[in-house]
């Protein structure tokens, strides 16, 4: 979880907020109620809208899994 949190802070928090509260990007708090971890991973791998493409670089497949688990844990 710590690795996913560090990836989130470095790559996602600027748009989705430090705690997932949203901003430029949508709020991620409670995202696990709407999407499974594998669906979150898919959205990171193949983003829509203004979300930047971060996979396969700078994020690896393992990074995507870790940050998806982190996003799913945001309450």
pLDDT, residue 43, reads 97
Provide the pLDDT for residue 52. 97
> Measured between alpha carbons, how far is 62 from 23 in angstroms, rounded to an integer?
26
Under 8 Å between Cβ of 60 and 54: no
- Of the CATH numbers 2.60.40.10, 1.10.760.10, 3.30.70.100, 3.40.50.2300, which one belongs to the domain with range 2-72? 1.10.760.10
Q: Mind listing the pLDDT tens digit of every residue in the chain (75 residues)? A: 999 999 999 999 999 999 999 999 999 999 999 999 999 999 999 999 999 999 999 999 999 999 999 999 999
pTM across the whole model? 0.95
Determine the Cα–Cα distance for residues 27 and 63; give it in Å rounded to an integer. Answer: 20
Extract the tokens encoding 38.
Answer: 């594998």
Question: Where are the domains positioned within the chain?
Answer: 2-72
């Amino acid at each position: 979880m710590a690795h996913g949190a560090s990836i989130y802070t470095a790559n996602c928090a600027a748009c989705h907020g430090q705690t997932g509260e949203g901003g430029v990007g949508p709020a991620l708090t409670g995202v696990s109620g709407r999407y499974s971890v594998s669906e979150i991973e898919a959205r990171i791998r193949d983003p829509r809208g203004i979300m930047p493409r971060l996979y396969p670089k700078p994020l690896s497949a393992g990074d995507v899994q870790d940050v998806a688990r982190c996003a799913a844990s945001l309450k």
